[in-house]
Amino acid sequence: MHVEHFQLAKELKVEKIDLLLLQLANHAIKEFGHRYGSFLDAASTAAKFAIYISFLENGRNFRKTGVAHHVEPKRVREIVKEIEHAIRENTSLKGLSSKEPDYLIGIPHLWKEKYPWKPGTSRISGRSLDSLEEKQLTLHIPKHFPKVLLIDEGELNSLIEEMRLLSADNNSSKNSNTCSEALLEHIRYRLRHSETIVQVTLPFMELPLYALASNSYAPKGQCERLENMVDDTTRFIFLLKQWVQEEAYAFRALETLTLSPSIREQAFQELDEMLRQWGDKYHCDGGEPIILQMALGKCDEDIL
């Protein structure tokens, strides 16, 4: 069932800044598949970063920074220590990434390394099969699947845990050596949803097995466009920050109109051509680099 989150947000009567945060949470958790806890960690990191910037702007004064943001000076000191330690040791703070975690991308490769299969031998890890079982198994495994063994849930969990330990993403995490059942279930879900693995139920096995269905992990859906959206949104915020600070090259533009559907494509093509001609006309070698970024879509007065 599709839920219109903009409409829901309006019913909750949230402010514009809250709407921005709701959008970030919606895309991070629902679209990109980041865990609830990971988003909270990232939000905490963002708040710490803001406090640290203010600390530097206040001449590294703990009390002034605390008063400005209603934070105890002792807590400001802890935040500064944490961030400066990360800078000094060249480690990452807890955050999100629009890119897929290493432990997801690496699982198919680790699976092929640890559970290779040779034709003529049993296709199930740790079990020999008779001719009837082999025939039944063949009906469940398409020929294009990677040539690896089928494994049970425990072996899949071990793969996930090993891959997380190998992942550079978890080097700075205090919990990198532990993997809760909730996290294991979440990772298995993402692997199934992306069709990287499939669950196989065989009549001669009490519990279902897992088969590797793809040589690489790739999330389904509009992931590439979502990543571009994150990049564009981040860039747009920096551009508007330049406009707020009245920098010479910053320019904000906004135009609303009503447009007949019958001439929509013509209007869009004309705008695209105008932008190209404008860029060609004013571009010069050796000049100051600038960027023009635009998005065009339906107008919602309650949001704009």
pLDDT digits (tens, 9 = 90+) for 62-100: 999 999 999 999 999 999 999 999 888 877 777 665 455
Angle CA(244)–CA(249)–CA(251) in degrees, nearest 5? 55
Residue 200: pLDDT over 50: yes
pLDDT of residue 175: 47
Bigger pLDDT: 224 vs 137: 137
Angstrom distance (rounded) from CA 123 to CA 129: 8
pLDDT of residue 165: 82
| 3-state helix/strand/coil string of 95-157 | CCCCCCCHHHHHHHHHHHHHCECCCCCCCECCCCCCHHHHHHHHHHCCCCCCCECEECHHHHH
Residue 5: pLDDT over 90: no
* Whether the domain at 5-89 and the domain at 102-212 fall into the same CATH topology: yes
Please check whether residue 125 is in contact with residue 150, taking contact to mean a CB–CB distance below 8 angstroms: yes
Mean pLDDT computed over 121-150: 89
pLDDT of residue 54: 94
Q: 73-89 vs 62-69: helix axis angle to the nearest 10?
A: 110
Least confident of 10-19, 132-141, 238-247, 261-270: 10-19
Name the band, by pLDDT with cuts 50, 70 and 90, for residue 304.
Answer: low
Element (H, E) at 198: strand 197-200
For 7-31, the pLDDT digits (tens) are 777 777 777 788 788 878 877 777 7
Mean pLDDT computed over 240-250: 91
The 3-state DSSP class for residue 210 equals strand
The 3-state DSSP class for residue 184 equals helix
pLDDT of residue 58: 92
Please check whether residue 94 is in contact with residue 42, taking contact to mean a CB–CB distance below 8 angstroms: yes
Mean pLDDT computed over 109-122: 91
Least confident of 53-67, 83-97, 193-207, 260-274: 83-97
Q: What letter would DSSP give residue 13?
A: T
% of the chain with per-residue pLDDT over 90? 38
DSSP structure string for 35-67: -HHHHHHHHHHHHHHHHHHHHHHTTS-HHHHHH
CATH 3.40.710.10 fits 102-212, yes or no: no
Domain 5-89: state its class: mainly alpha
Closest CA to 79 of 112, 54, 109, 113: 54
Share in percent of the chain as helix, strand, coil (round to 5) = 55, 5, 40
pLDDT of residue 98: 47
Domain boundaries, the chain: 5-89, 102-212, 223-282
Residue 236: pLDDT over 70: yes
For 138-165, the pLDDT digits (tens) are 888 998 999 999 999 999 999 999 888 8
